[in-house]
Amino acid sequence: MKLAVSSWSLRSYIGKEFTFDRFPMVVRERFGEYGVEGVELISRHMPLSDMRHVDMVAAGLREAGISVVNMPIDVGNISDRDPKRRAHDLRAIMTWIDVAAALGSPNVRVNTGTQTPPFDMDITVDSYRQLADHAAPLGVRILLENHGGISADVANILKLGDGVGWDRFGTCPDFGNFPPDLRYDSLALMAPHAGMVHAKALDLDANLQMPEYDFARCVQIVRATGYDGWWSAEFEGKGEQYAGTAANLQALRQALA
What kind of fold does domain 2-256 have according to CATH? Answer: TIM Barrel (3.20.20)
pLDDT digits (tens, 9 = 90+) for 94-134: 999 999 999 999 999 999 999 999 999 999 999 999 999 99
Closest CA to 131 of 68, 54, 78: 78
> What is each CA distance from 115 to 120, 145, 191, in whole angstroms?
8, 17, 25
pLDDT tier at 240, thresholds 50, 70, 90: very high
pLDDT digits (tens, 9 = 90+) for 173-201: 999 999 999 999 999 999 999 999 999 99
* Domain map (residue ranges) of the chain: 2-256
Q: How far apart are CA 66 and CA 3, in angstroms?
A: 11
Q: For residue 182, give every residue at least 6 positions away whose Cβ sits within 8 Å of its Cβ, in sequence order, or none.
A: 154
Q: For residue 100, give every residue at least 6 positions away whose Cβ sits within 8 Å of its Cβ, in sequence order, or none.
A: 68, 71, 73, 107, 108, 140
pLDDT tier at 42, thresholds 50, 70, 90: very high
Span 225-252, mean pLDDT? Answer: 98
Count of CB atoms within 10 A of residue 26's CB? 21
The predicted structure's pLDDT at residue 175: 98
Q: How far apart are CA 180 and CA 234, in angstroms?
A: 18
pTM given for the model? 0.97
In percent, the amount of the chain with pLDDT more than 90 equals 100
Q: Following DSSP, what letter does each residue of 97-138 receive, concatenated?
A: HHHHHHTT-SEEEE-----PSSP-HHHHHHHHHHHHHHHGGG
